[in-house]
Structure formats: structure tokens, C-alpha cells
Structure 1
Amino acid sequence: MTTNEPAVSVVVPVRNEAGNVAPLVGEIARALEGHWTFEVVYVNDGSTDGTEAELKRLMAQYPWLRRVRHAQSCGQSAAVRTGVAAARGALVATIDGDGQNDPAFIPAMLRALEADAPRVALIAGQRVGRKASGFKKLQSRIANAVRGTVLRDGTRDTGCGLKAFRRDVFLRLPYFDGLHRFLPALVKREGFAIGYVDVVDRPRGAGVSNYGMWDRLWVGILDLAGVWWLIRRRKRVPEIVDD
């Protein structure tokens, strides 16, 4: 790593979040300044509102703010992977762009990741006091229970956007649409341990949710079956013995 490269990259996937960009950028900066050299990489996932204009305005003010743009919306997993691929830091933190994740928890996650490296490669946020409708929380509980039973990943909440991980480990994971919901199981598949940090959920800042539950239900079931197959088919790396 050269001296010009940040230690930490914060990746923020967004679609039609113009009203949430500036407040979140400010919160991320306040959480990290003075602790790590950092950059913030926004991935504009085909927004059709004022998100792009807002990002350009803020990039003129903050040299550590970068933007990657999808010509059309490709989904959250694709946006996260685009951001991680573009990131220059060895450590990456992801956070949702709607303001519900509090950046104040990022330092604790990064410190936990650094303290237990290289054994631990992922610190996953686990939401408490979630700000969502009762029906949506019920859906999440069912989905998490089914996933936990099938994959045995030891994670009660994979839907939290707050995560911190090693960039090199993430980029070696098999990519598919929906990857971001299975990171703990896939990181464990690579032989690494997972850590957890409880994070307080907040109400959405502005706008409306861009990712629904029912439109991904059946795809999620197929993804679960696929991840189960990947874990089952993972072979141990041969140990070479010299006589």
C-alpha cells in the first residue's frame, strides 16, 4: 500500500437517495476523521432523481469522496461489489445509503476487525430496535430463521447494511446477485471467523425504500439453495508435506 492509499474505504450503495446523501456523508466523516485515513465510495445504482447532482456537488468539497455510476440499476449486491472493486483501502466498511444505519458504529467494527485479524475477516452489524413495520420485521425473522437453519452461519441478522471486512477476502468470494445477504456463510466457507457488533437501527432519513421483500422472495430461496450447495462442495486445500 502506498502512502496515498487510504486505510479504510466506506462503500455506500444508493438508488434515488438524493435527500440522504449530504447528511450521511457528514456523519461518516465525523465518525472516521482523526482515526483512520479513509475514502467514501458511493455507488450510484442507476438513480433517476437528484442523487448524481448531489454527489457531484459534494465531491467538489471533499477530496476523499468518490463516485462510481451504474448506467442502470443492477441491485444492491452488484452495487456493493462495484464499490469494493473500486475501493483502495485494505479494510472496507459498507453502509446503506438511506440513513437507517448509523456511521457512529463503524469505528467499533473496524477496531474489532483489526484486533482479531487475520483470524476474523468480517464484522457484521446486528440490528437492535429495528425501525420497520411489524410485517417487514416478521418477514425478516422468518427469512433469518430459515437461512440460519439451512446454512448454520450463526448470524441472526444478515440484512444489516453495516459490515466491515477485508477487501481481499470479499473479492475471492463467488459472486452472484444477492451475495450481500450471505456474507457470513461465504466468509466462513473460506475458513475465516466472523465477529458481531450490535447496532441501533434508525428511521429512514428521506425518500422511500428501493428494495422490496416480495420481489426477491423466490430469488432468495434459489440463492439459499445455491449457497448451501457451494458450502457443501467446498474442498479443503491440500496440505503439501515434504519428506
Structure 2
Amino acid sequence: MSTSPEGTVRPSTPLASGGPKLSVVVPVYNEEENLADLGKEIREALVSIDYEVILVDDGSTDRSFAEIETLGRLDPRFKAVRLGTNFGQTAAMAAGIDHAAGQVLAFLDSDLQNDPRDIPGMLVKLDEGEGWDVVSGWRKRRQDKWFTRRLPSQIANAIISRTTGVTLHDYGCTLKIYRADFIKNLRLYGEMHRFIPALAGFLGARIVEVPVNHRPRTRGVSKYGLIRIFKVVLDLHTVKFMHQYLTKPNYLFGGGGALMLAAGAFLGGVTLYKKYWLGVFVKDQPLFQISIFFSLIGLQLLLLGLLAEILIRIYYELRGKRNYFVRRTVNFK
């Protein structure tokens, strides 16, 4: 019996067998003081690996892009993507994903708090046993202030893990490694970058978490504040909704419509009972009007659910999208 990869998700391929190319994606925003050292650390850490580095300048207002260009002149493996303005970390990561050529993608912060020396070990972990699809960094000994950084992060991690069912200690750690088959089929919007492991998990990705080194920031200032925890909560609702109802919107609208129709039918039955068995004049009573209101709303929700189903099918058909991913096939050529 032979097996062959097909579709958008391939079986895990050992890095040692031919060595798939690694793309290191680094979002950059006003980090001019750190980029030269970052480039040096990456070159030293990945000396035995075939790689490229995609540095995405997210509308920096300092000399970050000039520093990126310098890195590119010194080493052609360092490539630059410059965004028109500050679109945010999610957009910067999405741009890096779209421009990456590697079969494995690693993500790294540009502030030197992540340690590039962790990447080789994470690549080894990626092919451990039957192979993983995502290796997620865990800043077990995080070098940040407890009240303003670590505490909000712990709360957010607990909420995300419980809501999505994909349990991680550290969703906020940028240092993560993905097989390109998964990451390139995720569309990222808003502030969705922190949910990438959960989105991959929804597709059946095998995820493992490993402790990584974390260093205190020595230059520059943090670009994050306490407001981010509110963004996490808002985006989490979007992620949950998209996962549950994107391909089956009738479950949402149809379910609500069915409940409204049932309520309308029940109230209508009570109205008929009062009219024909008790002899009560019900035409001007609120109960009669409420039953009609519930019935009409329920019917509209059912029709809205059917319309949404049609639109979703048109979306997938026109874009050639599938609502599933094939990991492996047997005896297909």
C-alpha cells in the first residue's frame, strides 16, 4: 500500500531528508536600534540551515527600513517587505507569510527578546516522532513586568485556551514554527495573529509547546499596552464565531429562527385556546400580537440562514476554496 500527499496539507516531511527551506518572518515596527544585532544573531544561529529572512517593515517612522536594507546588502538571504503604513502586527505577519518561499515558517520578534538560537531545536522538535505541524514557544521564564505584561498575558492565555479548546501556556509568544501548508491557508485579519495556533488547531494541526529563552528588552520601547487584552476578547468572539458558523451559518440563524417560530406557535396556540375554549376576545390582546411578531421574526431568520448558506457556497465555489484539508491519501496517484 502506498501513500502520497495530496490537497493543501501534506504529511510531515523530515527536515533531514533533503531539508525543506526555512523562512523566518520578522515583523518590524520602529526597531532601528535592534536590527543589526538581530541579523547577526540569526546568521549565527542558523549557520547550518538553508533559510531566508523576511523582514516586514510595518510603517516604521524611524530608520528601521534603512537598517533592513543594510542587512539585505550584506546578505541576500535577508529580504524586505515594506508596508505603506502601520497596519498592525497581524497584517505584517500576513505579508511575510505571503512572501515566504519556505516549506517551514518561523516567526520572530524584532526586539531581541526572542532568541534565534531556539529555532534549530524547534525544527528538530517539528519532526519528532510522527512529526508536528506547529511548534509553539513558551516563555516559561518571561522577562517582563508582572502587572502590565505577564498578568494580562496569563489571563488572555486562559481565556483563549478555554474558549478555543486549543490549550497553550503562551499564545502571545511570537516565536513559533509552522509547516507552510497550514499557515499559508489561514487568512489573517484584525488582530488575529495571536490566535494562529488555535486557527491551525481547528484544521487538525498537531501542536506542541516547548520552553524557549526570553530576554529583557534592552533598547527601544514596547509597542503594546494594557488595551490589548480588550482586543483579545473582541477578536476571540470573532474567531469562535468564524470557526463554528462560517461554513454553516444556517445553524446560527436557523436555530434562532426555529426557536422564535416555536415560541410564536406556542403563544398562538394559547391565543386560540383562550378564544375558542374560554370565549375570550383576543384580537386586541398583546399575546396575539406577540405570537405574530415571533412567528414573523422566526420566518425571517430561517430565510436569512438559507440565504447565508447560498452565499457561503457561492464564496467557496467562485474562489475554488474547500472547507476541509486533506492530510494524506492512500493509493491515489
Query: What is the TM-score normalised by the length of structure 2?
Result: 0.66
Aligned to 1:16: 30
1:151-199 C-alpha deviation (Å, 9 max, x unpaired): 1211111000100001221121232222211112111111121011101
Q: Find out whether 1:150 has 2:167 as its counterpart.
A: no
- Determine the C-alpha separation between the residues in 1 that align with 2:211 and 2:26: 20
Residue 74 of structure 1: aligned partner: 87
SS at match of 2:155: helix
Match of 2:139, SS state, is: strand
Aligned to 2:258: none
Give the 3 Å change call, closer, same or farther, for CA 134–45 of structure 1 in structure 2. same
Give the secondary-structure state (helix, strand or coil) at the position aligned to 2:34. helix
Aligned to 2:137: 125
Aligned counterpart in structure 1 of residue 244 of structure 2, from 229, 232, 243: 232
- Counterpart in the other structure of 1:221: 233
Q: Kindly provide the amino acid, as one letter, of the partner of residue 102 in structure 1.
A: D
* Alpha-carbon distance in structure 2 between the residues aligned to 1:97 and 1:116: 31
Letter in 2 for 1:16: N
Secondary structure of the residue that 2:82 maps to in structure 1? strand
Match of 1:160 in 2: 173
Decide which of 197, 211, 225 is 1:198's aligned counterpart: 211
Q: What stretches of structure 2 of length at least 5 have no aligned partner?
A: 1-18, 248-322, 327-333
Change (3 A) 1:59 1:238: closer
- Further displaced range: 55-64 or 204-213: 204-213
Tell me the residue number matched to 1:62. 75
Residues 127 and 139 (structure 1 numbering): CA distance in 2 closer, same or farther, change over 3 Å?
Answer: same
Q: Please tell me whether residue 88 in structure 1 is matched to residue 88 in structure 2.
A: no
Secondary structure class of the residue paired with 1:131: coil
The aligned amino acid for 2:21 is A
Single out whichever of 69-78 and 164-173 deviates more from structure 2.
164-173
Aligned mate of 1:169, from 178, 182, 186:
182
Rounded Cα–Cα distance in structure 1 between residues aligned with 2:129 and 2:205: 11
Partner of 1:178: 191
Query: CA 1:156–1:234 in structure 2 vs 1: closer, same or farther (change >3 Å)?
Result: farther
| Alpha-carbon distance between aligned partners in 1 of 2:82 and 2:189, rounded to the nearest angstrom | 19
Could you tell me whether the CA contact under 8 Å between 1:189 and 1:234 is conserved in 2?
no
Higher helix share: 2
How many residues of Structure 1 are paired with residues of Structure 2 in the alignment? Answer: 232
Q: Deviations over 1:82-136 (max 9, x none)?
A: 011101111110000000000110011112223356x621110010111111212
| Cα distance in structure 2, aligned partners of 1:153 and 1:18 | 35
**1:44 corresponds to 2:71:** no
Amino acid at match of 1:166: R
TM-superposed CA distance for 1:148, in Å, is: 1.5
Cα distance in 2, alignment partners of residues 121 and 89 from structure 1? 14
**Counterpart residue type for residue 96 of structure 2:** G
| Letter in structure 2 aligned against 1:112 | K
- The alpha carbon displacement at 1:237 in A equals 4.6
- Taking only the aligned residue pairs, the percentage that are identical comes to 39
Instruction: Mark the CA change 1:83 to 1:205 in structure 2 (over 3 Å): closer, same or farther.
Output: farther
**Structure 1: distance between partners of 2:101 and 2:76:** 14
Q: Kindly tell me: are residues 59 and 132 of structure 1, through their superposed partners in 2, closer, same or farther at Cα, counting changes over 3 Å?
A: same
Question: Secondary structure of 1:19's match?
Answer: coil
Greater C-alpha Rg: 2
Alpha-carbon distance between aligned partners in 2 of 1:45 and 1:238, rounded to the nearest angstrom = 31
Residue 211 of structure 1 is matched in structure 2 by 224
Structure number having the greater strand percentage: 1
The letter for the 2-side match of 1:146 is: I
Verify the 8 A CA contact 2:111 2:217 in the aligned structure 1: yes
Alignment match of 1:30 (pick from 21, 34, 44): 44
